[in-house]
Structure 1
Amino acid sequence: MKSFILILISTFITLTGFSQSTIKGKVLNQDQQPLAYTAISVGKKDSVERYITSKITDSLGLFTIEVPKAGTYIVRATALGYKDKVIEITTGKPGNLVLTRTEHQLSDVSVHAQKPLIQRKADRLVMNIENNPLATGKSSMEAIGLAPGVLVRDGQIMINGMTGTRVMVNGKLLKLSGDDLTNYLTSLRSDEIQSIQIIAHPPAEYDAEGSGGLINIILKKQTELGLYGTVYGNYAQGKYPETSEGTQLNFKKGRLGLFANYSYNWEKGFNKLNQSRTFPSDGIYTAQNRGITKSKNQRVHTGATFDLTDKQYIALDYTGSFSRDHDVFKATTFINYAAHPEINSTSKGLFPSTYNSDYNDVGLNYHITTDTLGSSFEFLSDYTLNHGNSTNEANSSFYNADNQFVSDTTFKNLTPSKAKIFTADAKYKKIFKNGSTFGFGSKVSLTTIHNAAYFSYMDQDNWVSNDPQNFIYNYKENIVAGYLNYSGHVLDMDVQLGLRGENTQLTGTLYDTAGTQKNPKNYFSLFPSLYLVKKLNKEGTNSLSASYNRRLNRPGFSSLNPHISYVDNYTSGRGNPYLTPEFTNSYELSYTLKNKYIFTAAYTDSKDVINNAILPEKDDPEKMMQQPINSGASKIWMFTAFAPFRITKWWMTQNTMQISNQHAIAETFDLQENIAMLQSSQIFQLGNGYTVSASAYYLNKIIFANAVLHHLFNTDLAIQKKFFNNKLTVKLAGNDIFGTSKVKGRFFYNDFRLNFNQLQQKQKITLGLTYNFNLGKAFKAKAIKSSNAEEQNRL
């Protein structure tokens, strides 16, 4: 460890000690007064509108900018209300840029550039949420589902048909999964979000966790000096009402910045599930499940940033998410035998459940910029405490073929869980004069989880403990990781090359009436990544790119917990403490035309795939269970075309077409399907502050675990209007306006077939109000990052 620190220090000194060439200057207005905080862009003399670096002038209009080598450069100055000025400046010879005011001055009018709904970047897709009426009143989980190529189903997020997607917030990997992740993303509302990044193939800098890529949610940043804030509220009406409201406050004075965000949402919905399957002895099982769901979520995010100097700051933040969920399912099950109707039977049951979770996270973030080129060192540390408490109850009555009462049963279980996670992450990134970068870093993650389950049954109006079913499951996991990452220009190509190594030590210990069972594992894996971009024309608007990376998907902590929950008398769900990681290799070739149209061919190959499958119970083939399993391999061939068009000055459309062949291979099932997906988004700028948005997608089918889902189709429509100099925004949105959100499909497992259809509260209309207020001058907020994004995803 000491040698690593010495290497780190010596490398730091070496990389920051190079000699540098600079250009200097000053920006003035036509009255020869300094123009503070003007944007400066610097380019090579023989280049047209291709700048190599940028900077903001200080309060006196002065700037000093490092350049790769001595010589003459093109310098552009840009300031609101002034015409751009471009001059040549030679290193060692300061120059002045004099800006003249535009002919028409704006008075009491704000001009805002409308960001496109979808932006394509080299390694990610960016979906802008702020001021997007389609996101009105949505949770972040619902907003994620708006992104091209992303499907959200039963709390799982899939990118391009791949499961194992992890979620980050401001670059902080949430170590949450299952109900905990769903509750957190439900409490985080779209009104707090600026944009959502979809990173299908993350580079080595990111944790290797997440074979299905990463979703990075970027929250709105404070942008005003003094007091700045937002108050919002949304009311939605489907079959049942939903509300969400919140406030965001930011304050900055001198070097100190403070912020506090609070949100609350209440939801009520319904869930209709119909099932049918074959039953032993040529029986037919059919079930009608009708559920009412209620959810209350609160989220608090508060903290402070302090600028130690102009180049370094420290930040401390706290995030709390508190969820209270209550579901009640009424299930009616029929068992029919065509050859022997006299043994037909019916069961009726009431299956209430509750799930409460308290998530608390405290994070420390230190950042220092080590030179004028932007090289930096960053240290992140987080401590996370998550409490979960689930109760499930089953009250059932059984009837014979003549509908006469036979017997009844009542039982329940309580499954508390407590997770403690500590992470620390150190990163250094060196930026060289020629624009290339070299980064390296390390991370430590320590996790301890305590799970328990207590079962009881009703006997003559008294609850009796069912000790043989009770258990305690403890899980410990330590991960040490390090990475190297280089980005630059080699052989007339832009190259990014990375290598990450992760060593994992874990032990799962199960205590039950059978004794103590330990399941220790220790494994080390390397995760290389490579990105190549070749410009095909002088302007750089046409390019060809290729990428490869290797990633893994560790089991979510809740998936490892062997708890049990009941849907009806013949259907249950439970965890699996014997899951192993899933590994994925991804290859991609992409062609970009005119920096707008993108055509991509991709192939992914996964082994030991973790799927939440439905399968018969080994000891009782009449019953089936939903359980995460390592289900063999998955191979996906995919072609994607992305095409944005501006049809008129006021109508912009962005469209995605995706065609794929997905093949899921396991011992108990072999599924292969050709899949077509179409997505389209429309933005209409109607003037006078009115914006209309529409979004629709269609999937002919998709493989989901060991199921094939058919004909997924959804359309959203929204309109927004701004008032009071854009301070008040009123939005009206319709979700699933054609009522097509019903899902149909079939599960496959050996000779077992389960047909189902499901309808939930997706069709609704939402009215949203957002009011922004501010007092003060503009400043740039510090982005508070975190070290435990991956770990939070797995809670």
Structure 2
Amino acid sequence: MKTYLRFVFPFLFYILPLSLRAQQNQKVTGTIRDNKQTLPAASVLLYTAKDSVLVTTAMTDGEGKFSFAVGPGLYYILATSVGYDKVKTAAFQLNGSAVHELPAVLLKENTNKLNEVSIVASKPVLERKGDKLIFNIEATPSAAGLTGLEVLRKAPGVTIDHNENISLAGKNNVLVTIDGKQTYLSGAEVVNLLKSMSSSEIESIEIVNNPGARYEANATGGIINIKTKKSRAEGFNGSLTIGAGYNQRIQSNNSVNLNYRKQFFNVFGSYDYNRWPFQENLTIDRVTPGMNSKQLYFSQRNKDTSVFASNNFKIGTDFFLTKNHTVGVLFKGNINGFDQKGFSRIAIGDSFAQPDSILQTPSKNSSDRNNFSYNVNYKGVLDTAGQEITVDLDYSTFDGTNNANFVNRFFLPDGSFFKNGQIYRNFAPSDINIKAIKGDYVLPLNKMFKLEAGIKVASVKSDNNFVYENDINGEWIRDNNRSNRFKYDEQVSAAYTIVNVTAGKMSIQAGLRAERTSSTGNSVTTNQLTERTYTDFFPSMTLSRNFDADHVASLSYSRKINRPNYQNLNPFIYYLDQYTYNEGNPNLKPEYSTNFEATYLLKQKYSVAIGYSHTSDVIAQILLQNEAKKSMYQTVLNLASNDIVSLTFNFPVKVSKWWGMTNNLVGYHKQIQAPDLNGTDLNSKQFSASLYTQNNFMLSKQFSADASVYTSTAQIDGAFKVKSMLSADAGLRYNFPNQNGNLKLGVGDIFHSQRGRVFSTLPGNVYNLVQWGTSTNVRLTFTYRFGKTTVKSERNRQTGLDAEQKRLGGK
């Protein structure tokens, strides 16, 4: 508690005096309407008349009214609403002496407006807004029927390797959030969560390469925010999605979203069920080191057939206590199951051509994962100047089980039985509880200065038990040398403050975040205790200059941390077969990164960004070989450093009235150094590039199509290199004339070229790995919308659990 008070008291003593300031601003009020009625949810933007600099924004309430509080000056207003033309008012003078009420602003309906689905389809595939690059899924028909992970593969600059690790512009340890909320899941669990989602749930993917102080510090590789769809009308409305696909087996994705909103409350919920069968193939050719014994050659072929089924649901309520005070409750759940049948064949001998023996390992693997989260939140708008406070209380539980059986048998090259190898099974239950409280405060001082501050306290308790049993003469006997129980407790206390300064066309945002971490890792079986306590400061700064409406430039800096996930700290050994295993590392240290990025935006469409990041104590997955056991194993180590210089271009092209192109090109140079990695110096360098291009075709009012290509050159990661990759998708969309639904046909990985090809960059560690699956597929998705279509959405909550769930377990 004393640790928490160190952050709470400075926050209170810093903020409370500021909130008592004297306001010199003048209140401006007005109404937005058409020729029949007032318009709720209309956007109102206030500009300075002298240089057209945006001062502030507002949205009209249920009666079409809006208000600002600004200092003296000459201004004008730009008002907009869906289905109406924009209207710019005449300039008006404020002298700061009294309330200024503007004449009603009259909007005219857009006589050339498209139907609802056409408006969605015309949304750009990529948008640059501030520090975010936004990838709009609705503008991509070929994304229909995909899982969330498959959609993420299409996002520009995002790479998902053969182990399903997510990287952004060459940087690992990316923080993935859902609707701005941290999942607190490990890398592996985030991947499972994305697999359980359907593209029909996703509105857009937001990519933040260099997040500032208000974001979690645990994001050395940047942030990817998955923004889910929201309802937008008062009364009752919803949508239904039914989808099916084929990738050698039948896939299914189905969802329903409901929303009911009245004057004083809003109730919303969703449910989806997805079933994704798939097949994965893996080949590994490796040569064991032969310093103390002769070399052996292993040629491994794996084939895994799996079924992943998931149930996701969400239910929540917002209570509008007054116009400016809202209390909300949110409950979310994810229940999924995974069944896998695998077969591994390893040819072992003095050469690849002439094996001496063959190891065959049939296996079964099943797992169940349940994740539930509970959130209570409050938002209060304290005055018309924009002073507001938000508070979140969160509790999340995660429990999972993983059961596996392996039978190792050796055969001679002619196929005759030779002998039994190890026959074993394991059980791995996991139980994790997370609690968090988060508060954020915004205090506009005047039109030039705004202060932000916040605190957060989070606690994570993880209990993982790994039970390993051998089959000895038909009886299962516990192997205490391989079984292990691992308990991990962590507390993180954080506070941040941000100063925003706007002077003419120049804006500055400077922030500082402080985080104190206390953790205890306890390997109960081996009585190995690892305790750590450390405090870090994470400064950030962004300078932005609006030269005019067509030219915007910015420069940003930040420092970040990435803490090891809970499962990687667990020292247990998990065997995949007799010669392949995973091993944890309780001695992992957090990594730290320093990041710079300069961005130039032209005409709100074209952008170029140059970035540099330096990461120390890099957390990296490494494939090594154990000479004594003749085994290959995967573990996680700290490498000395990782330096990346990147250049990113985003340039849409309008080929014709009906044909538009979106292009994103990323090029970067990466250097990884580790002076003593497994007794060898690693100094790996590589220039890499990736190109994502999408063609959108408006064939008619009802029909649209798209075709996209993603290609990347060779990349390095840790102590291995990933060879070039190519993937192509296409889709066709039909919008129903009544505007209430659409039908989408998508084809993924048309050329069946989406496969990972990996080889070692560490001298003496010789292996070549190729991994591919049933990525080529055909999908048909039907979406139907019902009820009112002008409803306001439920509030997009950013709960206090946005940083810890990422690290619940993992690869």
Give the TM-score normalised by the residue count of structure 2: 0.92
Alignment of 1:262-277 (within 5 A): 262-277=271-286
CA distance 1:455–1:639, change in 2 (3 Å): same
Q: Match for 1:583: what amino acid?
A: Y
1:136 equivalent to 2:144? Answer yes
Higher mean Cα deviation, 280-289 or 107-116? 107-116
* Secondary structure of residue in 2 paired with 1:212: coil
Higher mean Cα deviation, 295-304 or 770-779? 770-779
Alignment of 1:418-433 (within 5 A): 418-433=431-446
Mapped to 1, the partners of 2:747 and 2:571 lie a distance apart of 40
* From 93, 96, 101, the counterpart of 1:94: 101
1:487-512 C-alpha deviation (Å, 9 max, x unpaired): 22359632111111111000111122
1:292 equivalent to 2:337? Answer no
Q: Match for 1:209: what amino acid?
A: N
1:7 equivalent to 2:19? Answer no
* From 538, 542, 547, the counterpart of 1:531: 542
Could you tell me how far 1:29 is from its partner in structure 2? 5.4
* Secondary structure of residue in 1 paired with 2:248: coil
1:732-757 C-alpha deviation (Å, 9 max, x unpaired): 11110111112222024441111111
CA distance 1:590–1:151, change in 2 (3 Å): same
1:442 equivalent to 2:455? Answer yes
Structure-1 residue corresponding to 2:595 = 586
1:461 equivalent to 2:474? Answer yes
Q: Match for 1:528: what amino acid?
A: P
Mapped to 2, the partners of 1:274 and 1:108 lie a distance apart of 51
Mapped to 1, the partners of 2:66 and 2:608 lie a distance apart of 41
Mapped to 2, the partners of 1:561 and 1:751 lie a distance apart of 28
CA distance 1:340–1:328, change in 2 (3 Å): closer
CA distance 1:715–1:402, change in 2 (3 Å): closer
Contact 1:28 1:96 (8 Å CA) reproduced: no
* Secondary structure of residue in 1 paired with 2:90: strand
Structure-1 residue corresponding to 2:502 = 489
1:21 equivalent to 2:26? Answer yes
* From 642, 646, 650, the counterpart of 1:634: 642
CA distance 1:732–1:520, change in 2 (3 Å): same
1:241-300 C-alpha deviation (Å, 9 max, x unpaired): 211111111111231111111111111111111111113413211111111111111111
1:294-313 C-alpha deviation (Å, 9 max, x unpaired): 11111111111111111111
Alignment of 1:335-734 (within 5 A): 335-338=348-351, 344-400=356-412, 403-408=415-420, 409-489=422-502, 493-512=506-525, 515-535=526-546, 537=547, 539-617=548-626, 619-620=628-629, 622-666=630-674, 667-668=676-677, 669-734=682-747
CA distance 1:159–1:443, change in 2 (3 Å): same
Higher mean Cα deviation, 563-572 or 523-532? 563-572
Structure-1 residue corresponding to 2:77 = 75
Could you tell me how far 1:682 is from its partner in structure 2? 1.6
Contact 1:599 1:641 (8 Å CA) reproduced: yes
Could you tell me how far 1:224 is from its partner in structure 2? 1.6
Could you tell me how far 1:780 is from its partner in structure 2? 4.5
Q: Match for 2:197: what amino acid?
A: L
Could you tell me how far 1:108 is from its partner in structure 2? 8.8
* Secondary structure of residue in 2 paired with 1:208: coil
1:177 equivalent to 2:190? Answer no
* From 257, 265, 270, the counterpart of 2:266: 257
1:658-696 C-alpha deviation (Å, 9 max, x unpaired): 222211112233321121222211211222221211221
Q: Match for 2:58: what amino acid?
A: K
CA distance 1:296–1:564, change in 2 (3 Å): farther
1:138-184 C-alpha deviation (Å, 9 max, x unpaired): 22222122111111223321110111001111111111114322221
Contact 2:115 2:739 (8 Å CA) reproduced: no
Structure-2 residue corresponding to 1:41 = 45
Q: Match for 2:102: what amino acid?
A: G
* Secondary structure of residue in 2 paired with 1:344: strand
Give the TM-score normalised by the residue count of structure 1: 0.94
Contact 2:84 2:110 (8 Å CA) reproduced: no
Higher mean Cα deviation, 310-319 or 667-676? 667-676
CA distance 1:335–1:590, change in 2 (3 Å): same
Mapped to 2, the partners of 1:76 and 1:340 lie a distance apart of 75
1:379-417 C-alpha deviation (Å, 9 max, x unpaired): 112111101211222101113456543321311111111
1:193 equivalent to 2:202? Answer yes
Contact 1:415 1:563 (8 Å CA) reproduced: no
Q: Match for 1:141: what amino acid?
A: L
Aligned residues: 785
Contact 1:23 1:89 (8 Å CA) reproduced: no
Mapped to 1, the partners of 2:693 and 2:79 lie a distance apart of 38
Q: Match for 2:388: what amino acid?
A: S
Mapped to 1, the partners of 2:792 and 2:414 lie a distance apart of 76
* Secondary structure of residue in 2 paired with 1:558: coil
Mapped to 1, the partners of 2:361 and 2:62 lie a distance apart of 72
Contact 1:714 1:741 (8 Å CA) reproduced: yes
CA distance 1:334–1:693, change in 2 (3 Å): same
1:187-234 C-alpha deviation (Å, 9 max, x unpaired): 222211221111111110011001111111112122122211111011
CA distance 1:44–1:629, change in 2 (3 Å): same
Mapped to 1, the partners of 2:303 and 2:297 lie a distance apart of 20
CA distance 1:141–1:100, change in 2 (3 Å): closer
Contact 1:87 1:97 (8 Å CA) reproduced: no
CA distance 1:467–1:692, change in 2 (3 Å): same
Mapped to 2, the partners of 1:340 and 1:601 lie a distance apart of 49
Instruction: Select the structure with the greater relative contact order (CA < 8 A; seq sep ≥ 6).
Output: 2
Alignment of 1:156-235 (within 5 A): 156-235=165-244
Mapped to 2, the partners of 1:180 and 1:764 lie a distance apart of 24
CA distance 1:734–1:505, change in 2 (3 Å): same
Structure-2 residue corresponding to 1:126 = 134
CA distance 1:284–1:84, change in 2 (3 Å): same
CA distance 1:103–1:151, change in 2 (3 Å): closer
* Secondary structure of residue in 1 paired with 2:188: helix
Contact 2:11 2:454 (8 Å CA) reproduced: no
* From 51, 55, 58, the counterpart of 1:52: 55
1:145 equivalent to 2:153? Answer yes
Contact 2:177 2:223 (8 Å CA) reproduced: yes
Q: Match for 1:24: what amino acid?
A: T
CA distance 1:278–1:303, change in 2 (3 Å): same
Q: Match for 1:129: what amino acid?
A: I
Could you tell me how far 1:339 is from its partner in structure 2? 12
Contact 1:83 1:102 (8 Å CA) reproduced: no
CA distance 1:727–1:60, change in 2 (3 Å): closer
CA distance 1:692–1:134, change in 2 (3 Å): same
Contact 1:351 1:395 (8 Å CA) reproduced: yes
CA distance 1:701–1:518, change in 2 (3 Å): same
* Secondary structure of residue in 2 paired with 1:116: coil
Could you tell me how far 1:52 is from its partner in structure 2? 2.2
Q: Match for 2:239: what amino acid?
A: T
1:683-718 C-alpha deviation (Å, 9 max, x unpaired): 112222212112211111111332111111111111
Q: Match for 1:507: what amino acid?
A: T
1:506-549 C-alpha deviation (Å, 9 max, x unpaired): 0111122xx411110111111111111233x4x24223322111
* Secondary structure of residue in 2 paired with 1:181: helix
Mapped to 1, the partners of 2:59 and 2:691 lie a distance apart of 42
